């Protein structure tokens, strides 16, 4: 709906059910007697204020489109455009805005206003649908009167096996409040069906996943990262390996939206962690067509394919954050996508030297997917705070830790050729005299997260790396 045009002059928005509005009625009468035209819009009682011929904003269109949060609000309008505004009653501000010096004698110099009816929690969703619903382009799905919304979404195949939040117009519009990007902006082309996905479509799936509006920028960035050639979400879906997108969030947005980077960091209980990764998976399923048993051919899969998202503990880390190591500024918010399996715990409760701990971690990293397969798979090593402290106390920074791990992950060809150790799996016999690295030079991503107690870390094994598979992608998060 087009915003109603405002008349030039002074414009006041009031309601009778507001003590401050009632108090300033006499001030409005003073202004009505001046040289500048005054128009009063009233939200509730069309007869208030008496004697001023108020315009009844019955449908709250004026209040909504002018962004009235508080009444009374006094505006100055010139050539149809607002040039000044003040909310509540402040004699100094009203006199400055109007150019009058004799307003409200006998009244207190200041009195806060009341909430506008246009932001009333019982009305705001319906108003948003009425006045902004026209921006939505998605198909409306009519349900029968006795049809259960949650079951209807199951029946239509739009869920990941868990209940989803019905994406009503009101909920989708509220979700779109979380970003400045227009609803019709195309975010990416989503494999495997190569369908364009708009901000609106991402918002719909974010609603279904249970996200809050402030999570939407993270979900949008994750969709953009997943749909790059480097990440190769089509391949991640089509492989028979158990991998899916693992999201690591860095930067100020972690704390702004209340993400968990500490106790139970990979587990249940935090809404942002639990729903952001799920929203990405729903976009891939509902827009891109990536469904288990179809293009998604994982032999086993893993529970993280419902959604796997966590924040790095930057404040407690002795190392520079992951996104800084990957070329971003510390004050920038990012999401890093990694094609990974579920996390596996590394236990070492005895190492008190960095050399011993690095050797322990390397031994566990060697087993990613198979201890005799080098160079094929990347990994994320998530150091717990107590393990990280061992390195920090010895003065080892991130590059030193990674260098020491790689040095311990040089595999003698004689140990990893096919048949060695009575295992058929391995590299061809031609490599028997070679030494091969377990990981490519940048094949270990190092993050810091987890609870402060417990001498544990975790490893997340990856899929085939590089051009033949998936490369980790770090993408900026923008409003």
Query: Taking the chain (479 residues) in consecutive chunks of 10 residues, what is each chunk's mean pLDDT?
Result: 89 98 98 96 98 97 97 97 98 97 95 98 96 94 93 96 97 98 98 98 98 98 98 97 98 98 98 98 98 96 98 98 98 98 98 98 98 97 98 98 98 98 98 98 98 97 94 97
Q: For residue 462, is it within any domain?
A: yes
CB atoms under 10 Å from CB of 285, counted, come to 21
The DSSP secondary-structure symbol of 104 reads: T
* pTM: predicted TM-score of the whole model, two decimal places: 0.92
Same domain for 448 and 326? Answer: yes
Distance CA(94)–CA(111), nearest Å, equals 12
User: Where would I find the H helices in 181-252?
Assistant: 199-209, 216-226, 233-238
Domain that holds residue 108: 9-120
Same domain for 114 and 233? Answer: no
Q: For residue 15, is it within any domain?
A: yes
Q: For residue 137, is it within any domain?
A: no
Residue 93 CB-density burial (10 A; 0-12 exposed, 13-18 middle, 19+ buried): middle
Distance CA(27)–CA(103), nearest Å, equals 6
Same domain for 58 and 192? Answer: no
Q: What is the pLDDT of residue 210?
A: 98
Residues near 229 by beta carbon (within 8 Å), at least 6 away in sequence: none
Same domain for 307 and 450? Answer: yes
Which of 64, 97, 120 is the last residue before a domain boundary?
A: 120
Concatenate the DSSP letters of all residues of 265-289 into one string. Answer: TTSSS-HHHHHHHHHHHHHHHHTT-
Instruction: Report helix, strand or coil for 23.
Output: helix
Same domain for 177 and 97? Answer: no
Q: For residue 132, is it within any domain?
A: no
CB atoms under 10 Å from CB of 275, counted, come to 24
Q: For residue 345, is it within any domain?
A: yes
Same domain for 366 and 423? Answer: yes
Q: What is the pLDDT of residue 3?
A: 82
Concatenate the DSSP letters of all residues of 132-176 into one string. Answer: HGGG--SPP----TT--HHHHHHHTT-SSSS------HHHHHHHH
Q: For residue 138, is it within any domain?
A: no
Task: Give the domain CATH number at 40.
Answer: 3.40.30.10
CA dihedral over 225, 230, 233, 234, signed as positive or negative: positive
The total domain count for the chain is 2
Which of 74, 96, 120 is the last residue before a domain boundary?
A: 120
Same domain for 80 and 176? Answer: no
Bridge partner list, 347:
456
Same domain for 360 and 464? Answer: yes
Bridge partner list, 13:
41, 73
Same domain for 203 and 329? Answer: yes
Distance CA(284)–CA(281), nearest Å, equals 5
Same domain for 169 and 295? Answer: yes
First-to-last alpha carbon distance for the chain, in angstroms, is 25
Q: What is the pLDDT of residue 1?
A: 65
Same domain for 160 and 84? Answer: no
- Helices and strands counted in the chain (H then E): 16, 20
Q: For residue 298, is it within any domain?
A: yes
Q: For residue 362, is it within any domain?
A: yes
Same domain for 95 and 179? Answer: no
């Amino acid at each position: 709906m087009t915003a109603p045009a405002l008349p030039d002059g002074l414009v006041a928005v009031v309601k009778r059910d507001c003590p401050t509005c009632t108090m300033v009625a006499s001030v409005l009468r003073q202004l009505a007697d001046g040289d500048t035209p005054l128009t009063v819009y009233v939200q509730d009682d069309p007869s208030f204020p008496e004697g001023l011929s108020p315009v009844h904003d019955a449908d709250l269109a004026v209040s909504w489109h002018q962004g009235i949060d508080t009444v009374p609000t006094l505006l100055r309008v010139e050539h149809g455009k607002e040039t000044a505004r003040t909310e509540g009653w402040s004699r100094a501000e009203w006199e400055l805005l109007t150019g009058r010096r004799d307003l409200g004698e006998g009244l207190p110099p200041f009195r806060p206003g009341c909430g506008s009816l246009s932001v009333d929690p019982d009305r705001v969703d319906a108003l948003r649908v009425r006045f902004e619903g026209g921006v939505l382009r998605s198909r409306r799905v009519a349900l029968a009167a006795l049809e259960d919304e949650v079951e209807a979404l199951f029946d239509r195949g739009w869920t990941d096996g868990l209940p989803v939040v019905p994406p009503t117009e009101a909920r989708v519009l509220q979700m779109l409040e979380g970003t400045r990007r227009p609803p019709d902006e195309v975010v990416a082309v989503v494999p495997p069906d190569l369908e364009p996905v708009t901000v609106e479509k991402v918002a719909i799936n974010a609603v279904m996943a249970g996200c809050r509006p402030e999570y939407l920028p993270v979900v949008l960035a994750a969709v953009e990262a997943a749909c790059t050639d480097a990440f190769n979400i089509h391949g991640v879906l089509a492989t028979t390996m158990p991998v899916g997108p693992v999201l690591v969030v860095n930067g100020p947005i972690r704390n702004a939206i209340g993400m968990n980077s500490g106790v139970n960091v990979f587990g249940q209980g935090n809404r942002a962690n639990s729903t952001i990764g799920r929203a990405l998976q729903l976009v891939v399923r509902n827009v891109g067509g990536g469904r288990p048993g179809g293009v998604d051919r994982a032999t086993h899969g893993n529970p993280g394919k419902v959604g796997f998202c966590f924040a790095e503990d930057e404040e407690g880390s002795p190392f520079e954050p992951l996104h800084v190591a990957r070329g971003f500024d510390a004050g920038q918010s990012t999401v890093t996508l990694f094609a990974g399996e579920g996390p596996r715990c590394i236990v070492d409760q005895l190492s008190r030297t960095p050399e011993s701990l690095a050797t322990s971690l390397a031994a566990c990293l060697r087993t990613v997917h198979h201890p005799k397969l080098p160079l094929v798979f990347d990994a994320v090593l998530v150091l717990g705070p107590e393990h990280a402290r061992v390195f920090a106390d010895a003065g080892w920074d991130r590059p030193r830790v990674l260098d020491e791990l790689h040095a311990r992950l040089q595999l003698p060809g004689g140990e990893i050729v096919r048949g060695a150790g009575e295992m058929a799996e391995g590299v061809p016999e031609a490599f028997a005299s070679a030494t091969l690295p377990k990981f490519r030079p940048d094949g270990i991503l190092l993050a810091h997260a987890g609870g402060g107690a417990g001498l544990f870390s975790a490893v997340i094994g990856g899929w085939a790396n590089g051009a033949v598979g998936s490369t980790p992608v770090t993408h900026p998060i923008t409003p």
